[in-house]
Amino acid sequence: MSSNDFLPISIEGINLTINAKACLHDINLQINDNGITVIMGSNGSGKTLLLKLIAGVIAPTQGIINWHRQPQPPELTMVPAKAVLLNRSVGDNIALPLHHAKNKESTQNKKGDIDKIINEALAWADIDYLKHRHAKSLSTGEQQLVALARAWALKPNILLLDEITANLDPVRTQKMTRLVQDLSQFCKIILTTHSIKQAKVLASNVLLMEQGKVLLHAGKDSFFDSNEFQHFLALQ
Phi, psi (degrees; rounded to nearest 5) at 193: -160, 155
Distance of CA 208 to the CA centre of its chain: 16
Q: Express each pLDDT in 164-197 by its tens digit.
A: 998 899 999 999 999 999 999 999 999 999 899 9
E-state strands within 53-164? 62-67, 76-79, 158-162
Checking DSSP bridges between strand 188-193 and strand 9-18, what pairing results, if any? unpaired
Mean pLDDT, each 10-residue run in order, the chain (236 residues): 81 98 97 94 95 97 97 96 96 94 57 89 98 97 97 97 93 95 96 94 97 97 96 88
Give the pairing of strands 205-210 and 36-40.
parallel
Class of residue 212 by CB neighbours under 10 A (exposed 0-12, middle 13-18, buried 19+) = buried
